[in-house]
């Protein structure tokens, strides 16, 4: 971990990313509470979350092509500038009272498109910054940064929207996402620029493993991760929570994610990632099923913390698996396949869970999705031994 932090380029990236991600979570808390206030409907919570994440299904592969063909720093800078502009427009609409769920759908899709294009670029840029060294620790530290942002952001967001207003959450996101764009303009990567040919190629067997592994990872983000989108409904209608308590519940998951990220960062290069990921997926699904049967606040917070830990383990280990299995010449495209499956699964799960929750209730919907994710983990373990043993 210390070796990764000694890289000044990577350390600067972590700080700027922490600000941007903190702003993202502040805005996410504002959005969830805004949708509940406008509609009081789990369907619309799931729909807005799904539309925001839908571009990962549509444009992730295009983002991988950007990463391999163009200057990654320029793409990161432009995309973060556009995200700031969208967040500022949303803040203005909220402040003057003209916001509606339809505006949220449109602006969410626009922001999601930019994020979908940037994610493979950002992952490949991180590899450039560390020059492929201490990759496991670097990705774990990046996940730890995200986890800290996921803890601090919701807590600050809950306080902000309760005291200043929902528009403040979006305004904060607009301001906090700018530093990483500026950094991309002034920070030089340590490795060569992306190229269209040459470099180490991804072998066919490795590519097949990446595809199979990514498809399995999608079952986690379809069946388990969307509980975050329904958390405002759970907090308000299940626990009678106000905005601050909702922020605390979301932050508790982030605190658990910090534990997972710190543990991975200290562990360094974890072996047998292909085995650990399905175990983590099964554990996360089991925790979600348990959460649906707990209606006391303290046990619920403990479970949310444990689920946050699993979230970080899943993403960090899975992303490191893909990075290590891919060659230099196709690194952006390999990350795009992973983004398409892992992050693209979120809108599918959010929409399906939102629709199912509107019919049978949130707890029943989450129980069904958790059961499906458990089955998928068992199926991958026994049905894909090559992909399981490669990482």
Average pLDDT value for the chain: 82
**Who contacts 345 (Cβ-Cβ below 8 Å, separation ≥6)?**
217, 218, 219, 220, 221, 222, 225
Average pLDDT of the residues in 70-89: 91
pLDDT exceeds cutoff 60 at 195: no
% of the chain surpassing 70 pLDDT: 91
Q: What was the pLDDT predicted at 391?
A: 62
Average pLDDT of the residues in 47-61: 81
Q: Looking at domain 2-390, what is its CATH homologous superfamily?
A: MFS general substrate transporter like domains (1.20.1250.20)
Q: What was the pLDDT predicted at 389?
A: 78
- Strand locations in the chain (E): none
Average pLDDT of the residues in 363-387: 90
Phi first, then psi: give them for residue 121, nearest 5 degrees: -65, -45
Q: What was the pLDDT predicted at 197?
A: 43
Average pLDDT of the residues in 233-239: 80
DSSP 330: G
Asked whether the beta carbons of 218 and 322 are under 8 A apart, the reply is no
Q: Which two tokens stand for residue 65?
A: 């092509």
Phi first, then psi: give them for residue 57, nearest 5 degrees: -75, -30
Q: What was the pLDDT predicted at 113?
A: 92
Q: What was the pLDDT predicted at 196?
A: 42
Asked whether the beta carbons of 224 and 284 are under 8 A apart, the reply is yes
Q: What was the pLDDT predicted at 79?
A: 92
User: Is residue 191 classed as helix, strand or coil in its secondary structure?
Assistant: coil
DSSP 321: H
257-309 pLDDT, tens digit each: 888 878 877 776 777 888 888 999 999 999 999 988 888 888 989 999 999 89
Asked whether the beta carbons of 237 and 247 are under 8 A apart, the reply is no
Q: Which two tokens stand for residue 177?
A: 């996402």
Average pLDDT of the residues in 340-347: 78
Quote the pTM value.
0.67
107-158 pLDDT, tens digit each: 999 998 998 888 888 888 887 787 766 666 777 788 778 777 877 777 787 7
Q: What was the pLDDT predicted at 2?
A: 59
How many other C-beta atoms are found inside a 10 Å radius of the C-beta of residue 96? 9
Domain boundaries, the chain: 2-390
Q: What was the pLDDT predicted at 179?
A: 92
Average pLDDT of the residues in 383-389: 83
DSSP 192: P
Classify residue 14 by burial, with Cβ atoms within 10 Å: 0-12, 13-18, 19+.
Answer: buried
């Amino acid at each position: 971990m210390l070796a990764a932090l000694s890289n000044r380029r990577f350390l600067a990236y972590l700080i700027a990313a922490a600000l941007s991600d903190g702003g993202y979570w502040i805005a996410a808390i504002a959005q969830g509470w805004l949708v509940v206030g406008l509609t009081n409907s789990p369907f619309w919570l799931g729909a807005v979350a799904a539309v925001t994440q839908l571009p990962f299904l549509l444009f992730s592969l295009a983002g991988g092509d950007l990463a391999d063909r163009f200057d990654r720093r320029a793409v990161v800078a432009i995309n973060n500038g556009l995200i700031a502009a969208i967040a500022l427009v949303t803040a203005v609409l909220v402040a003057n009272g003209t916001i509606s769920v339809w505006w949220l759908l449109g602006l969410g899709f626009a922001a999601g498109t930019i994020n979908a294009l940037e994610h493979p670029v950002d992952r490949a840029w991180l590899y450039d910054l560390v020059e492929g060294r201490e990759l496991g620790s670097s990705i774990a530290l990046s996940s730890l940064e995200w986890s800290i942002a996921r803890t601090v952001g919701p807590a600050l967001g809950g306080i902000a929207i309760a005291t200043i207003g929902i528009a403040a959450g979006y305004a904060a996101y607009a301001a906090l996402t700018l530093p990483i764009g500026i950094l991309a303009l002034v920070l030089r990567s340590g490795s060569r620029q992306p190229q269209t040919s040459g470099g180490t190629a991804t072998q066919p067997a490795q590519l097949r493993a990446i595809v199979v592994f990514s498809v399995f990872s999608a079952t986690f983000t379809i069946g388990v991760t969307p509980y975050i989108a329904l958390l405002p409904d759970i907090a308000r209608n299940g626990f009678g929570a106000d905005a601050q308590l909702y922020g605390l519940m979301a932050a508790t998951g982030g605190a658990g994610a910090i534990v997972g990220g710190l543990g991975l960062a200290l562990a360094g290069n974890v072996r047998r990632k292909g085995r650990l990921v399905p175990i983590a997926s099964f554990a996360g699904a089991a925790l979600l099923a348990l959460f649906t049967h707990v209606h006391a606040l303290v046990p619920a917070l403990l479970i949310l913390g444990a689920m946050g830990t699993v979230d970080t383990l899943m993403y960090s280990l899975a992303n490191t698996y893909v990075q290590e299995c891919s060659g230099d010449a196709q690194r952006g495209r390999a990350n795009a396949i992973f983004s398409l499956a892992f992050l693209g699964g979120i809108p599918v799960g959010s929409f399906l869970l939102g629709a199912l929750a509107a019919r049978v209730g949130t707890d029943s919907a989450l129980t069904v999705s958790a059961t499906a994710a458990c089955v998928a983990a068992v199926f991958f373990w026994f049905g894909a031994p090559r992909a399981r043993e490669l990482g």
